[in-house]
């Protein structure tokens, strides 16, 4: 496995940090999720814990802090999701942990970064997108901006970038033998993944003005939009290039000789496309465009995506023994020689691996029994666990 031997500590949180930890675990890293003894809510909400192990520690008392420091002293990576200053108040800031372990990659994932006016403010994906300038571009013409779920900041600009930064820092560590602190802001991360949008603003063929919903790639043109079908479903049209646009017109029963997509009246063509697409069902349109290279595809629901022939052939989605009724995407991208773990790895219960993790880092049976007795750590089904 590509990351076999990499030791990662993931302090429990939601969305970006668990996603980062999952990415590392999916490529073979050993990821330990650090749960709080007084917080089972996050553990239940975290749906990205497959293949990780869990230890539950009370970080409000000094012995719990010492345990985490001991774990960190032999780790390669630590990922924390808190607002600036929280780890320092616990006595677990980078100055402390990097002194214990100079090779540690200390990864801080926060909404607005470790400094600045907004650093200690609360926020969620929609807030980070609004500050980055990205949210202003999501939405239809003359309508308010809409929240694009929580993909852009939490996952693309958050967890994914964090994993990428960790890999870069680990690569540099091979030369320097030193770790470092990674300051990942979800607001900055979402701006970074939109770099092309910022850099392309001087391209008139892409941006027709400053208004959202009136440009090339935001639904402002008839050949890059979605259209409702007769059965209330939708088709996605992305016929940007002339050769694909000609194929699109053929599929719609229109004459390509009537003009190219840059010469047509966009609003008139949108209305015409809307009328035509409503004459057939999604299935009928899919059968038509499967025979053409028109960049026209069905907008599939989660369940329908799994049933699509291409996704079936590529095995892009799978269920797990843990939840046979729920489909999840398989690991991507695929490696030609590195063996990757199966996605069918159970998510841990909070504290499920407390005893085995403590034993691995050298704590004695007596130490562990005392920690459990004093509620410094928690272990599920402790009576069945072997010390």
The contacts of residue 290 (CB under 8 Å, 6+ apart) are none
Residue 339: its pLDDT value, please?
A: 84
pLDDT tens profile 82-124? 999 999 999 999 999 999 999 999 999 999 999 999 999 999 9
CA nearest neighbour of 158 among 206, 191, 207, 134: 191
Could you tell me where the DSSP H helices lie in 27-143?
Answer: 41-45, 62-72, 86-89, 94-100, 125-132
Q: Yes or no: say if 43 and 349 are a contact pair by the CB < 8 Å rule.
A: yes
Q: Which of 26, 46, 58, 154 is catalytic?
A: 154
CB half-sphere exposure, 257, CA atoms < 13 A: 0
Span 7-193+325-384 CATH architecture: 3-Layer(aba) Sandwich (3.40)
pLDDT band at 387 (very low <50, low <70, confident <90, very high): very low
Residue 42: its pLDDT value, please?
A: 62
pLDDT band at 260 (very low <50, low <70, confident <90, very high): low
The contacts of residue 351 (CB under 8 Å, 6+ apart) are 35, 37, 54, 55, 56, 377, 378, 379, 380
Instruction: Look at 32-41, 208-217, 261-270 and tell me which has the smallest mean pLDDT.
Output: 261-270
Share of the chain above pLDDT 90, in %: 81
- Whole-angstrom CA distances from 79 to 57, 369, 386 are 16, 28, 29
291: burial class by Cβ within 10 Å (0-12, 13-18, 19+)? exposed
Is residue 124 part of the annotated active site? The answer reads yes
Q: Yes or no: say if 42 and 69 are a contact pair by the CB < 8 Å rule.
A: no
Q: Yes or no: say if 119 and 110 are a contact pair by the CB < 8 Å rule.
A: yes
CA nearest neighbour of 235 among 269, 279, 266: 279
CA nearest neighbour of 357 among 45, 67, 15: 67
Please provide residue 4's backbone torsions phi and psi, each rounded to the nearest 5 degrees: -55, 135
> And the tokens for 40?
């089972």
Share of the chain above pLDDT 70, in %: 95
pLDDT tens profile 276-285? 999 999 999 9
Q: How far apart, in whole angstroms, are the C-alpha atoms of residue 55 and residue 35?
A: 6
pLDDT tens profile 226-248? 999 999 999 999 999 999 999 99
Is residue 154 part of the annotated active site? The answer reads yes
Residue 46: its pLDDT value, please?
A: 82
Q: Which of 124, 306, 308, 349 is catalytic?
A: 124
CA nearest neighbour of 65 among 39, 43, 33, 97: 97
Domain 224-299 maps to which CATH number in 3.40.50.300, 3.30.1540.10, 3.40.140.10, 2.40.50.140? Answer: 3.30.1540.10
Residue 325: its pLDDT value, please?
A: 76
The domain locations on the chain are 7-193+325-384, 224-299
Q: How far apart, in whole angstroms, are the C-alpha atoms of residue 264 and residue 267?
A: 9
Residue 259 has pLDDT above 80, yes or no: no
């Amino acid at each position: 496995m590509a990351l076999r031997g990499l030791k990662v500590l993931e302090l429990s949180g939601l969305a970006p940090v668990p996603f980062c930890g999952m990415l590392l675990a999916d490529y073979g890293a050993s990821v330990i999720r650090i749960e709080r003894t007084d917080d089972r809510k996050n553990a239940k909400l975290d749906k990205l814990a497959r293949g990780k192990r869990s230890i539950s520690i009370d970080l409000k008392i000094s012995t719990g802090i010492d345990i985490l420091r001991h774990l960190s002293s032999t780790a390669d990576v630590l990922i924390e999701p808190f607002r600036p200053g929280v780890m320092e108040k616990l006595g677990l800031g980078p100055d402390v942990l990097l002194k214990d372990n100079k090779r540690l990659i200390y990864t801080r994932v926060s909404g607005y970064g470790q400094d600045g006016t907004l650093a200690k403010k609360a926020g969620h994906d929609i807030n980070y997108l609004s500050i980055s300038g990205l949210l202003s571009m999501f939405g239809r013409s003359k309508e308010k901006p809409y929240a694009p779920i929580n993909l852009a900041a939490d996952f693309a600009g958050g967890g994914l970038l964090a994993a990428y930064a960790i890999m870069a820092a680990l690569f540099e560590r091979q030369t320097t033998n030193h770790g470092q602190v990674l300051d990942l802001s979800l607001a900055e991360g979402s701006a970074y993944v939109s770099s092309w949008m910022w850099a392309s603003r001087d391209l008139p063929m892409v941006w027709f003005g400053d208004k959202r919903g009136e440009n090339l790639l935001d639904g402002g043109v008839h050949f890059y939009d979605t259209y409702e079908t007769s059965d209330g479903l939708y088709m996605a049209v992305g016929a940007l290039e002339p050769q694909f646009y000609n194929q699109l017109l053929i599929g719609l029963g229109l004459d390509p000789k009537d003009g190219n997509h840059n010469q047509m009246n966009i609003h008139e063509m949108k209305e015409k496309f809307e009328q035509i697409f409503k004459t057939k069902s999604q299935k009928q349109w899919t059968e038509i465009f499967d025979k053409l290279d028109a960049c026209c595809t069905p907008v599939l629901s989660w369940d329908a995506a799994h049933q699509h022939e291409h996704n079936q052939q590529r095995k892009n989605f799978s269920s797990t023994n843990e939840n046979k009724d729920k489909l999840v995407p398989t690991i991507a991208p695929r490696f030609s020689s590195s063996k990757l773990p199966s996605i069918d790895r159970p998510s841990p219960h909070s504290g499920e691996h407390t005893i085995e993790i403590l034993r691995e880092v050298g704590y004695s049976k007596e130490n562990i029994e005392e920690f459990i007795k004093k509620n410094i750590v928690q272990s599920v089904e402790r009576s069945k666990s072997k010390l």
